[in-house]
Structure 1
Amino acid sequence: MNSYETLFILRPSLDEEAVKANVDKFKGIIEENGGEVETVDVWGKRKLAYPINKVNEGIYVLFNFKADSELPKELTRKFRIADEVIRDIIVKHEK
């Protein structure tokens, strides 16, 4: 199993319950596919470096997890089809 870090940005119009629901949804995707979530860190609403689709703020969420090499592809696919996610990135930690 490899160590990964993912940071995704949710739409700023979401309330706390919707943010928690999205965090639980993506955490569930990792766990359902044999991954193990180590830490979940919700940074909250922050200003974006540049506007994305006329949006200037976003809710940042950081996950650290361990998984097989196929899981990041599936997680990226789920991020891309979720309307609530503005941007995402997954980085593999080298040993």
Structure 2
Amino acid sequence: MMRTYEIMFILKPDFPEEEADRFVSSMEALVTSTGGTVSKVEKMGRRRLGYSIRRCWEGQYVLFVLDCAVATVQEFERRLKVADPVIKFLTVRTDEEIKGAEKIRKMRAKHAARRKAAPSAEAAAS
């Protein structure tokens, strides 16, 4: 079953840009080879961390948005755990959030339609 995930990871600040590009493309290849799709890859650049992680105060942030199976995410996370340049990562399943947002949007549209219909019904009654 395909689900939508956001995976953000932080690379060491001294990790060379060319090697970071190769690492990101290898992770993209992992997802596509297992039948998933990469919706978005955003290299957010070098940023200051809120606290020291592995004696680093800065890191290179990378965000992946992908649609894939659970097994693919597990393999993705396994590779992030064993990769030396990765100092931190976080995986979030976002398909439930998208469904919730759509449900709220539909309810708001329904309430807006009721509000539009209510004044005209009151005017007709007068």
TM-score interval w.r.t. the shorter chain? over 0.9
CA distance in 2 between counterparts of 1:47 and 1:73 reads 28
The answer to whether the aligner puts 1:71 opposite 2:72 as a matched pair is yes
Which of the pair has the greater relative contact order for Cα pairs under 8 Å at 6+ separation? Answer: 1
CA distance in 1 between counterparts of 2:33 and 2:87 reads 23
The one-letter code sitting in structure 1 at the alignment partner of 2:63 is L
Query: Equivalent residues in 2 for 1:11-90 (5 A)?
Result: 11-90=12-91
Alignment match, 1:4 = 5
1:58 is paired with a residue whose SS is strand
CA distance in 1 between counterparts of 2:38 and 2:75 reads 15
Offset from partner CA, 1:21-79 (integer Å, 9 cap, x none): 11101111111222100111000000111101111100000010000122111111000
Gaps of at least 5 residues in structure 2 are: 100-126
Give the alignment's TM-score, normalised by structure 1.
0.95
CA distance in 2 between counterparts of 1:85 and 1:79 reads 6
Name the % identity. Answer: 36
Structure with larger Rg: 2
2:38 is paired with a residue whose SS is strand
The one-letter code sitting in structure 2 at the alignment partner of 1:77 is R
The one-letter code sitting in structure 1 at the alignment partner of 2:56 is V
The one-letter code sitting in structure 1 at the alignment partner of 2:54 is N
Which structure features the higher share of helix residues? 2
The one-letter code sitting in structure 2 at the alignment partner of 1:4 is Y
Which structure features the higher share of strand residues? 1
Runs of at least 4 residues of structure 1 off by over 4 A?
none
CA deviation after TM superposition for structure 1 residue 18, in Å: 1.2
Cα RMSD after superposing both structures: 0.9
2:21 is paired with a residue whose SS is helix
CA distance in 1 between counterparts of 2:6 and 2:54 reads 25
